Amino acid sequence: MPRNPLRTIALASLFSMAVAGCSSHPPMPTVDYVDLERFMGDWYVIGNIPTFIERGAHNAVESYSLNADGTVSTVFTFRKDAFDGPEKRYTPRGFVRSEDNAEWGMRFVWPFKAEFLVIYLDEDYNQTVIGRSKRDYVWIMAREPEIPEEDYQKILAFLAERGYDTERIERVPQRWE
């Protein structure tokens, strides 16, 4: 039976994300503490260094809900290439790996868990940044589909200080009616 080349590429990409902890990059500092119950809910993706599945995403939203076993159900939805493009939906599972709840493993394909670090979170739980030690991907997210330009620029400066190439960060188009 022939293999699906897109599935093979997806698995290879996810494997490379999962082994990022084996890289020589300095550790990525996380926030001091994440109140998981407050963190749950919908987060609009404002900007990112997109993975291959996110390229061309419009109206991207990441939704989290806490499971009884302590894992995090995740639903990531977006429209591909246009606001009226086909809807894409992914459902990885998050595994909290630290007592401060700021370090997770995100599993898209068993048994691999990609590094997922809460590196910025405002005190009102309205804006957050998810990063990785390898500095290969990042997600700027907010509870609303837009944030003030001043906040966005401050987050970009924060990411530059953390070693990210901010030229690679793309805004995710958001338009809700």
Q: Count of CB atoms within 10 A of residue 1's CB?
A: 3
Q: Which CATH class is domain 5-171?
A: mainly beta
Total-model pTM: 0.85
Q: Does the pLDDT value for residue 111 go beyond 80?
A: no
Domain boundaries in the chain? Answer: 5-171
Strands, E assignment, 31-163: 41-49, 57-66, 72-80, 87-90, 93-96, 103-109, 112-121, 127-131, 138-142
pLDDT score, position 3: 52
Give 45-78 pLDDT, tens digit per residue: 999 999 999 999 999 999 999 999 999 999 999 9
Give 128-160 pLDDT, tens digit per residue: 999 999 999 999 999 999 999 999 999 999 999
pLDDT score, position 177: 81
Helix (H, G, I), strand (E, B) or coil at 115: strand
